[in-house]
Structure 1
Amino acid sequence: MEQKGKMVPSSSVPPEILWSSLPLILKQFPVKTLLKLRCVSKVWCSIIDDPDFIRLHHKHSHTRPDGVSIVLMNKDGGDYQLYSVDPEGGPLVDLLEVPSLFVSKYYSSVYEPNYADTIQLQSVNGLVCIQNRIWNPSTRQRIEIPPRKESTTTFLDVPTYLLGFDPFSDKYKILNKQVVVSIDGGGVEKRVEYQILTIGTNEWREIDSVPNEFVPYHRNHRSCCIEGVIYSFACISDEDMILAFELTREEFRIIPLPPEVDHVDCCDFYLIEVRERLGLINGAMTTISILEDSEKIVWMTQNSIFPDFILKYYEGSKFTPIGAIHTEILLCVDDWNTQVKRFFYYDLESKRLRRVDAVPNLLDIFQYGIYYTKHVESLFRLKRFYFVLIDQS
């Protein structure tokens, strides 16, 4: 634009202010768009790849309508098929097919029983863990976890991998739980060994903080990571409890279950994050306990979550907590009355239940077990790591 024969700048905003505000603008976009915007210029690329911006974008993704999704996994023959769906309803989106852990080149065919109780689908800080694979659904990249150190004198049962994120070091870590059976002089010793791997390295490290008499094992393999702590179930001296692994210090500690919890039915309990705290919910949705203080072990338990008429209608049905979104807990309900799977939100503050109608009946699509996790998208790029990288188109 010209004025009195002179050129007038199209913007009066100083360039330094414009560039400083660019991250606040870019954080509004989904990962797919940002990956394309990396090509605009070197400056844009450096901003989008900056670890501080990746953290800023991931934090903001919790509040963006398209930043949160439900990732579902279904076993299809020997492989696993992954899908996503909008938490407020919509069609299933085909994401990825993952070969089973037990046909991996790293593991032999000695694992022949049914492993349904050891399989879990975890989403931690934007990454998804599926058995021995780490995957970022947003960037379409995945890596295969290298094999842990194994002894030639022991027989190893099926490994369990627990993904965690340490906010202090800004690193992802994988905790491996392995049941080890040693045969010595005709006797058989069964124990649980733990090893830790930091993503970006290729070496497992032994966890020395587990006492010899400490043999945690539980049929419930569910876990979650909150504020740098991986929580999982353990059974010690025939007593159910929660095992907390602090990723910064790489140490274990024991958290007793709330006294209101029926330990007999502990295998039907779920661990989820609720407002940056640990939530313990049973599959019947009759109680929910939130760990308000993890240091002093203070639980707050709420009984009779649903109205009686809801529990009576869905009597015998299974409630699967998927995750918390703001003050609401997303649930999948196996409705045995109508033979459909339904999604509900339960609001912890108003104690109201609302149904999500625009989700296809998963029982019409899947024939086998379905696993769920809440996923918040992230720009974290696995291609920086060199072991067994597979980029997905």
Structure 2
Amino acid sequence: MATAHNMCPELIVEIFTRLPTQSLLRFRSVSKSICGMIGSPDFIRLHSVRSPKKFTVIHRVNYKAEGVTKSVYTINSAGEGQLSYMGTTPVEYPFAYVNIVGSCNGILCVYEIDKRIIHLWKPSIRRKATVLFPPVWTPGLALGFGFDPSIDDYKILWTVRGGEVSFVYTMKTHTWREIASHADMDRLSVVKSPMMCLFNGALHWAVKRDSRRSGGCYVMTFDLSSEVFSTIELPEPSWETDTVTVIKGCLAVVSSSSKDVDASSRIWVRNTDAAWSLAFKLDMRQPVQSINGDLVFSGCYSSKGILDYHDPETGVPSRLVDLTGSSSYVTAMITCIESLELLHFGTSCHQGKQALDC
């Protein structure tokens, strides 16, 4: 029977880059050579590419036995054509109340505005790296996170309210530097997106101009490599657009009428020729997150804990989970992958125990 010592290195890499992260973390103790291979940047990047997409759901849970309410999270399967939620084990959330900015290569970017701290968090290996805001801090207009392949590094964008100036943080240098902002991002603009969207190497947000200016909503973009801002006009600028996402490999937005509270939401998809087309409608307004091309919308940020998903080709909804009759409710959800990114950065944020039954 072949062992890791007499197998060719290429075959070992082929096998190991298809294994789950928890197995790889254990296998680092096999030998120094295996440990070095698993921790190498090339291995981590290839493993990230081959890792299946997951989705992380964050809940608020009332633990009756302890008499407390805690936040927990679960990592759930998002295989092609199916979503798996039930049977996942909740783990205690490692932060106080934070806003989720977005995710890239399995790293989630979250921030604590009161503490002026940004966390890069890896749920699958339970590690985090903490970043302080720029020294000259003012309330922000936009915050984004992504990977710049031109320098093989992660970047964080912070655009101050007023839009006159932005800052970029690079992970390897641990430094902030100032860059110019877009002329259209002034004090009258308001970012509507609850999370940024990373698409084709650029960050995207839904932005609304002040009522004193014409134009309504639009999409603001920031190219992570060139560090240049630009804008994309929307098919219905007068409608409220709160969500920018990716559906079937295309940029998409979710819009609804601000004049009719009962109006359905419209899903618009931007084709390769930069033209918008109406994909389908939702019969209610709810936060939308795309998982493997399926639209997953939920009763996030409310007393409801319902997760439904839609096939963008048929528009037919299916119930993923309903927590309305339990002591748990959904507060956030986001796409992620189980990768080894952050393995050599930051600190462990393992809470020491998994969540108890509620």
> Where on the TM-score scale, by shorter chain, does this alignment land: which range?
0.7 to 0.9
Q: State the shift of 1:252 in Å.
A: 0.5
Give ranges in structure 2 of 5+ residues lacking alignment. 63-68, 77-82, 112-117, 257-262, 353-358
TM-score of the superposed pair, with normalisation by structure 1: 0.70
Pick the aligned partner of 1:328 from 290, 294, 318: 294
Runs (4 or more) in structure 1 with deviation over 4 Å come to 10-16, 73-76, 212-216
1:97-131 Cα deviation digits (max 9, x unpaired): 31357xxxxxxxxxxxxxxxxx3442222101111
1:243–1:41 CA distance, 2 compared to 1 (3 A):
same
1:365–1:351 CA distance, 2 compared to 1 (3 A):
same
Q: Which has the larger radius of gyration?
A: 1
Match of 1:361 in 2: 323
Amino acid in structure 1 at the alignment position of 2:93: L
How is 1:82-121 mapped onto 2 (pairs within 5 angstroms)? 82-86=72-76, 87-91=83-87, 93-100=90-97, 119-121=99-101
Q: 1:366 and 1:14 mapped to 2: Cα distance?
A: 48
Amino acid in structure 2 at the alignment position of 1:220: K
How is 1:1-393 mapped onto 2 (pairs within 5 angstroms)? 10=1, 15=6, 18-62=8-52, 67-72=53-58, 74=60, 81-86=71-76, 87-91=83-87, 93-100=90-97, 119-131=99-111, 132-150=118-136, 156-157=138-139, 160-179=142-161, 190-211=162-183, 214=186, 217-222=189-194, 223-236=196-209, 237-239=213-215, 240-257=217-234, 259=235, 261=236, 263-266=238-241, 269-282=242-255, 286-293=265-272, 297-302=274-279, 304-305=280-281, 311=283, 317-325=284-292, 327-333=293-299, 340-356=304-320, 359=321, 361=323, 364-366=326-328, 370-381=331-342, 383-384=344-345, 389=347, 391-392=349-350
Q: 2:175 and 2:309 mapped to 1: Cα distance?
A: 42
Higher helix share: 1
Deviates more, 1:28-37 or 1:202-211: 202-211
2:154–2:171 contact (8 Å) kept in structure 1: yes
Q: State the shift of 1:168 in Å.
A: 3.4
1:70–1:271 CA distance, 2 compared to 1 (3 A):
same
1:81–1:12 CA distance, 2 compared to 1 (3 A):
closer
Q: State the shift of 1:213 in Å.
A: 7.5
1:175–1:194 contact (8 Å) kept in structure 2: yes
Q: 1:164 and 1:80 mapped to 2: Cα distance?
A: 29
Q: State the shift of 1:291 in Å.
A: 2.2
SS at match of 1:319: coil
Q: State the shift of 1:278 in Å.
A: 1.7
SS at match of 2:26: helix
1:75–1:370 contact (8 Å) kept in structure 2: no
Q: State the shift of 1:93 in Å.
A: 0.8
Amino acid in structure 1 at the alignment position of 2:338: E
SS at match of 2:33: helix
1:61–1:68 contact (8 Å) kept in structure 2: no
1:165–1:173 contact (8 Å) kept in structure 2: yes
Q: State the shift of 1:360 in Å.
A: 5.1
Q: How many percent identity over aligned positions? A: 21
Q: State the shift of 1:231 in Å.
A: 0.4
Q: 2:341 and 2:5 mapped to 1: Cα distance?
A: 31
Give ranges in structure 1 of 5+ residues lacking alignment. 1-9, 102-118, 180-189, 312-316
Q: State the shift of 1:33 in Å.
A: 1.0
Q: 1:235 and 1:384 mapped to 2: Cα distance?
A: 36
1:80–1:165 CA distance, 2 compared to 1 (3 A):
farther
1:317-363 Cα deviation digits (max 9, x unpaired): 542212222x42222247x9xx853222211234433222xx35057
Q: 1:126 and 1:89 mapped to 2: Cα distance?
A: 18
Q: 1:135 and 1:297 mapped to 2: Cα distance?
A: 34
Q: 2:325 and 2:142 mapped to 1: Cα distance?
A: 28
SS at match of 1:138: coil
Paired residues, what number?
320
1:79-112 Cα deviation digits (max 9, x unpaired): 98341152422255124231357xxxxxxxxxxx
SS at match of 1:383: coil
Q: State the shift of 1:143 in Å.
A: 1.7
1:161–1:362 CA distance, 2 compared to 1 (3 A):
farther
1:218-240 Cα deviation digits (max 9, x unpaired): 14143111231000123354432
Q: State the shift of 1:241 in Å.
A: 0.9
Match of 2:115 in 1: none
Q: State the shift of 1:34 in Å.
A: 0.6
- What is the aligned-residue RMSD (CA, Å)? 3.3
Q: 1:31 and 1:265 mapped to 2: Cα distance?
A: 40
1:193-231 Cα deviation digits (max 9, x unpaired): 311101122221111253487557314143111231000
